[in-house]
Structure 1
Amino acid sequence: MADIDPPQAQSPEPLPEPPPPSGPGLFGETLSAAPASTPTPSASTTAAPYRVLARAYRPSRFEDLIGQDAMVRILRRAFATGRVAHAFMLTGVRGTGKTTTARIIARCLNCTGPDGTGGPTADPCGVCANCRAIMADRHPDVIEMDAASRTGVDDVREIIEATRFRPMEARMKVFIVDEVHMLSRNAFNALLKTLEEPPPHVKFVFATTELRKVPVTVLSRCQRFDLRRVPVLDLAEHFGRIAAAEGVSVAPEALELIARAADGSVRDGLSLLDQAIAMGAQEGGAISVEAVADMLGLADRGLVFDLLEALMAGRPPEVLAILDQAHERGADAGLLLQDLLGLTHVLSRLRASPALRESPDLPQAERVRGAALADRLTIPVLGRAWQMLLRGVSEVEAAPDRRAAAEMVLIRLCYVADQPTPGELVRRLSPGGEAPKPVLAAPPPAAPSAPPPAAPTPTVPVPPSVSPGPRNWGGGGNTALSQPVPEPAPDLTPTAEAAPEAPPPPPTIPEHFRDVISLVRERREMTLYGHLLHSVHLVRYAPPVIEIRPQPEAPRDLAAKLAAVLGEATGQRWTIAISTAEGEPTIDAQRQTADQGRAVEAAEHPLVQAIMAAFPGARLENVRDPTVDEYRLPPPVAVVGPDADVGTQGLELPDEMPDFAPPDAEPLDEMELEDEL
């Protein structure tokens, strides 16, 4: 067999390109020939994913945090002196920078500087490996846990187990637990020991929006920082800088509107600014306050001022026209009422403290137009509007038709605009009262430097001949028609300390039958106490003898139980005699009769009748008399002598009962009243 030489190696020839496919493809699509040369995509032609402003402009240093000067100052001082706590508790509303601050603390603890030899510092370099890894959320020694999704004790045990090992790359292991209040009770208890005495290479940073839900045992082991809401002025300036960096023009009024809508949250405001920039780009790049108001579903601020002025002037057609105009612009009915609430609050503050009119935190409209409107409205009128709007907001939220509910609220406000407040009504009904004044008065010629002093609330004077009695209405009550009775000053003279050997004072004998009932109540004999109130008629009270007539529903052993309780309390033997005499009405019947008499007397007073006529449908709910005792009866007269027959409980009834507030009474000075008494 002849030898076969192996073939010589030849250079491989390029394979011919396959013919272009024709006809339908595998999934039915029509295939065409590929182009001869396809350009390779480069980094310049590949579009990077868009990052929202809240992430793109997230603070990376303490200097970038706005509105948190106190916390920044304390943390800087702690790093400068080496007194960095092992656990921090950051609390505040959403979007104020809690998680961002936790990451900045982690960078400050682990920064090594550009040359790799630096230590913990309050000014991280941002270029070392640790800083870059922490900023990119990929550092193995900075562990973030969301307690809202990992709430169990097993999740906390993983953290406790991880604290036993030293950090792999960084100087410190930092555990950031967000929404820590969502942890379970067992999880908190499992964390306590490690949190109190952690290893030297471990730091904890907790963040929460519900500090009250965090156990005090955890709070006591942490250094707490309250991140405050960022003021509107600071937010507007911050948003203006970001808009300039993005190359977008935003009106200052639009920035203020976004800052107010953010409610102190930087993240919420940046989200709204991001939305406004996208909307403005579609409209040519200019962002106006009208566009932002339409985006937020809010009414124009000037429209809210017009609406409040029409409400306070009592012009329903104009109010409904303004409401229709706001509805056409896309404003929500509930948000419109909330805007009115906010404006009412601002006007009340301007009225109560005129110095706020120069505050730079107030927008220009509130400083100029709001100050002029505050001078024309009184605090009672603004308070009444606040209450009605506050209730109206809840009605709108619960109503099937929000716009109809808002219209009903505003119509009610229009028709109460010309009604006086209760204080003005009392002044008008009083002799020589003031003439009716419109709620929205004409603006004064010049803005006063201080609000006018409120008119003193008139009180009905009490004649010096008033003495305590069942119909004495001179004491302070729950109506504006009463006059407080001055109480005697307490005796502050120091008493000598009793000697330890001194015997206890003898028990006090009840002076009246009502004192007996009170004594029974103090002894916790509630069944006996109820029968004495409702089922016992007093015939004669002469201690230590009590003659009573029980009603048929009273128990048969009532007299024996009452004698036993009194004997135990006073150390004296009592005799409870059962009589067939009529006696007095029961204490409960006397109380009802006294209440009815007070109500009738109050209803017959001319001032009360005038108020009833001015407010149809009003009724007198309750009348109080401070001169009565706990049973709402006039105080009885002390029993004199053991044989005194007190068939009427010793009531001292004056010959002529005084009226509680004579219409023609003149004001009397308190010093003169004391001299007369």
Structure 2
Amino acid sequence: MSYTALYRKWRSQTFDEIKGQDPIIESFKNQIKTGRIGHAYLFCGTRGTGKTSVAKILARAVNCENPDNGNPCNKCASCRSVLNDSSMNVIEMDAASNNSVEDIRQIRDQVQYPPVDARFKVYIIDEVHMLSQAAFNAFLKTLEEPPEYVIFVLATTEPNKLPITILSRCQRYDFRRISTETITERLHEIASSEGIAVDDEALHYIARVGDGSMRDSVSLLDQCSAFQFDHKIEYEDALNILGAVDTSVFSDMICALNKKDIRDILNIISEVIEQGREIGQFINDLIMYIRNLLLAKSVDNLNGLVDMSNENLLKLKDDSKLFSVDELLRFVRMLSELSNQMRYSVSKRILLETTLMKMAYPETDTSLEGLNAKLSEIKRNIANINIDSIKNGNLTETLGKAKDFVPKEIKSDSPKKVALPKAQYEDLQLLKKEWRNICIAVPSSVVSVALKDSYVKPNREHDGMIIVTKSKACYKIISENESKDMLCKVVEDRYNKSIKFSTELSEEKENSTIYVTDDDLSKININIETEG
């Protein structure tokens, strides 16, 4: 006998078995008991919240020979025929694949014939928003004034795509996302009945990953049980099977953002991807962790609000001290925008890496929110200055730690004039002319992005060139030997030039110095600094 998936085997059979939609269920039970049944219903809500299940239960209940408190008995001939898909009185149609005018005309022709051995003929149209505009127009008259024995149940995940003419002809019911606690209880019930050994923490995590969808959560439990069929499913097993990431990784990421350690940030992302974790899920889990950080900063008692072990809860409270509320809200906003972009991107890793770099350095965000985050960072670092160090005379060291957070004065002196050896001057002119193309040609996209706002100037102490950038994040990336080696290889392959590169973090503008060759000294009469 073939295996039946858990979500099909455990589909709710009565209104009372539907979880998390109590107001809707109570309404339909009352309609069945009083006989005040409408002719057209619209069920809206995200996937797996019970729309189709309620539609099928309603289809049985309206024709049930022995209803029990509004529920179908599921034992009479009418109920059994619907359950085994042999009823001629319940017609299901998927509008995603049957969305033409001809499909609707077929329904319009069928409704003329009364039900066989039943009170009502029920049409369940799933994903109704997929119907074409012409199909909607053809459906309007039938939907508004069907025969008294016809009931239409329309289900959709996107009610905003339905014409107002359809919406106005239906009783609308919005199915809410099911709470994690309700899903966990249902999963525990299923696991107990199926003999699946699973840890409570793992069940709760599966329910949370299901994101309000009972069907998705039951499918995830089915997936975990298939992988761990011979022993108990622990929390770590659920993480590994579902491609999720342990909380400690998010704590490490928050610490790396606080230290502005781009190398550490990139290493964490690399490890996550190498372990086969899904980037979209990683982003959603990171948003949830930052949400928990906000709660830890705002609420004294986190019981019932944050689902964590005591050890992780202590770490969460420590991490919450690393950033202000403004900074954490900015993180949530940036990651939420990133999550939306991921759906249409083929370079998900690059998007994630560059977003995290911007999160670490709020000065790269010129919006008002970015400026507020930078001010919060300055205040936080000033507050962390060691007063005892000042009292003990270590003022220089203390100011040294704080200097990076004080805006630097930009001088507006006239450009300096510097003489260079002819060969170095020619190399400089070539690089300045081709710098943008060279940056694009670097094989690492992260390095290429870091080089975007940089420029080159000659190294006046040694042969070669200096890459100048004012971004600390970009400076850390470019300063890596691997990054400079990539750049050297691009220049050598393209221009047959062997040039050594060093890096400099500076606010100096690109045109603050004028360079000439030694040969020009005899031709012009200006003050020039010559190479020592």
SS in 1 for 2:41: strand
SS in 2 for 1:157: helix
Letter in 2 for 1:286: K
Residue in 2 that maps onto 1:98: 51
SS in 2 for 1:310: helix
SS in 1 for 2:302: helix
1:488-522 CA-partner distances (Å, limit 9, x unpaired): xxxxxxxxxxxxxxxxxxxxxxxxxxxxxxxxxxx
Given the two structures, how large is their TM-score scaled by the length of structure 2? 0.64
Matches within 5 A, 1:41-120: 48-113=1-66
Give distance in 1, aligned partners of 2:361 and 2:376.
21
Residue in 2 that maps onto 1:297: 243
Give distance in 1, aligned partners of 2:182 and 2:78.
32
Q: Percent identity?
A: 35
1:248 aligns with 2:201: no
The verdict on how the C-alpha distance between 1:379 and 1:219 changes in structure 2, with shifts beyond 3 A counting, is same
Residue in 1 that maps onto 2:457: none
Letter in 1 for 2:209: A
The verdict on how the C-alpha distance between 1:355 and 1:267 changes in structure 2, with shifts beyond 3 A counting, is farther
1:181 aligns with 2:129: yes
Selected match of 2:157 from 179, 202, 209: 209
SS in 2 for 1:161: helix
SS in 2 for 1:238: helix
1:427-455 CA-partner distances (Å, limit 9, x unpaired): 999xxx9981359xxxxxxxxxxxxxxxx
The verdict on how the C-alpha distance between 1:280 and 1:421 changes in structure 2, with shifts beyond 3 A counting, is same
Give distance in 2, aligned partners of 1:217 and 1:148.
20
Give distance in 2, aligned partners of 1:308 and 1:121.
54
Letter in 2 for 1:102: A
Residue 246 (structure 1) shift: 1.0
Contact 1:380 1:421 in 2 (8 A): no
Residue 328 (structure 1) shift: 4.9
SS in 2 for 1:249: coil
Residue in 2 that maps onto 1:229: 177
The verdict on how the C-alpha distance between 1:360 and 1:292 changes in structure 2, with shifts beyond 3 A counting, is same
Give distance in 2, aligned partners of 1:397 and 1:76.
40
Give distance in 1, aligned partners of 2:142 and 2:197.
52
The verdict on how the C-alpha distance between 1:313 and 1:193 changes in structure 2, with shifts beyond 3 A counting, is same
Residue 398 (structure 1) shift: 8.1
1:145 aligns with 2:90: no
Letter in 2 for 1:383: L
Contact 1:153 1:184 in 2 (8 A): yes
Give distance in 2, aligned partners of 1:100 and 1:223.
17
Matches within 5 A, 1:250-265: 250-265=198-213
Residue 145 (structure 1) shift: 1.2
Residue in 2 that maps onto 1:168: 116
Residue in 1 that maps onto 2:275: 329
Contact 1:176 1:204 in 2 (8 A): yes
The verdict on how the C-alpha distance between 1:102 and 1:403 changes in structure 2, with shifts beyond 3 A counting, is closer
The verdict on how the C-alpha distance between 1:398 and 1:194 changes in structure 2, with shifts beyond 3 A counting, is closer
Give distance in 2, aligned partners of 1:102 and 1:427.
52
1:308 aligns with 2:254: yes
The verdict on how the C-alpha distance between 1:340 and 1:361 changes in structure 2, with shifts beyond 3 A counting, is closer
Given the two structures, how large is their TM-score scaled by the length of structure 1? 0.51
The verdict on how the C-alpha distance between 1:377 and 1:287 changes in structure 2, with shifts beyond 3 A counting, is same
Give distance in 2, aligned partners of 1:303 and 1:264.
24
1:323-355 CA-partner distances (Å, limit 9, x unpaired): 455445332455434422232233235545x27
Letter in 1 for 2:316: G
SS in 2 for 1:89: strand
- Aligned residues between the structures: 385
SS in 1 for 2:216: helix
Give distance in 2, aligned partners of 1:398 and 1:181.
22
The verdict on how the C-alpha distance between 1:89 and 1:237 changes in structure 2, with shifts beyond 3 A counting, is same
Contact 1:232 1:264 in 2 (8 A): yes
The verdict on how the C-alpha distance between 1:112 and 1:347 changes in structure 2, with shifts beyond 3 A counting, is same
1:357 aligns with 2:305: no
Gaps of 5+ in 2: 386-505, 510-532
Give distance in 2, aligned partners of 1:147 and 1:222.
17
The verdict on how the C-alpha distance between 1:363 and 1:200 changes in structure 2, with shifts beyond 3 A counting, is farther
Residue 79 (structure 1) shift: 2.1
Give distance in 1, aligned partners of 2:183 and 2:376.
47
Letter in 2 for 1:58: R
Selected match of 1:287 from 193, 210, 233: 233
The verdict on how the C-alpha distance between 1:52 and 1:223 changes in structure 2, with shifts beyond 3 A counting, is same
1:200 aligns with 2:140: no
Give distance in 1, aligned partners of 2:34 and 2:295.
43
The verdict on how the C-alpha distance between 1:233 and 1:182 changes in structure 2, with shifts beyond 3 A counting, is same
Selected match of 1:382 from 328, 333, 353: 328
Identify the range of structure 1 (388-397 vs 370-379) with the bigger mean alpha-carbon deviation: 388-397
* Greater gyration radius: 1
Residue in 1 that maps onto 2:462: none
Give distance in 2, aligned partners of 1:398 and 1:127.
49
Residue 109 (structure 1) shift: 0.2
Residue 185 (structure 1) shift: 2.0
Give distance in 2, aligned partners of 1:237 and 1:426.
45
The verdict on how the C-alpha distance between 1:216 and 1:377 changes in structure 2, with shifts beyond 3 A counting, is same
Give distance in 1, aligned partners of 2:270 and 2:178.
35
SS in 2 for 1:286: coil
Give distance in 2, aligned partners of 1:375 and 1:290.
28
Letter in 2 for 1:229: R
Residue in 2 that maps onto 1:128: 76
Give distance in 1, aligned partners of 2:185 and 2:308.
13
Identify the range of structure 1 (176-185 vs 56-65) with the bigger mean alpha-carbon deviation: 176-185
Letter in 2 for 1:180: V
Contact 1:358 1:367 in 2 (8 A): no
Give distance in 1, aligned partners of 2:384 and 2:356.
18
The verdict on how the C-alpha distance between 1:316 and 1:215 changes in structure 2, with shifts beyond 3 A counting, is closer
Contact 1:112 1:128 in 2 (8 A): yes
SS in 1 for 2:27: helix
Residue in 2 that maps onto 1:556: none
Contact 1:111 1:128 in 2 (8 A): yes
SS in 2 for 1:212: helix
Identify the range of structure 1 (79-88 vs 386-395) with the bigger mean alpha-carbon deviation: 386-395
The verdict on how the C-alpha distance between 1:414 and 1:137 changes in structure 2, with shifts beyond 3 A counting, is same
Contact 1:96 1:265 in 2 (8 A): yes
Contact 1:89 1:224 in 2 (8 A): yes
Give distance in 1, aligned partners of 2:127 and 2:340.
30
Residue 255 (structure 1) shift: 1.5
SS in 2 for 1:206: strand
Give distance in 2, aligned partners of 1:257 and 1:349.
19
Give distance in 1, aligned partners of 2:292 and 2:380.
29
Residue in 2 that maps onto 1:341: 287
Contact 2:295 2:302 in 1 (8 A): no
Selected match of 1:268 from 216, 227, 252: 216
Letter in 2 for 1:82: G
1:370 aligns with 2:316: yes
Matches within 5 A, 1:28-47: none
More helix by share: 2
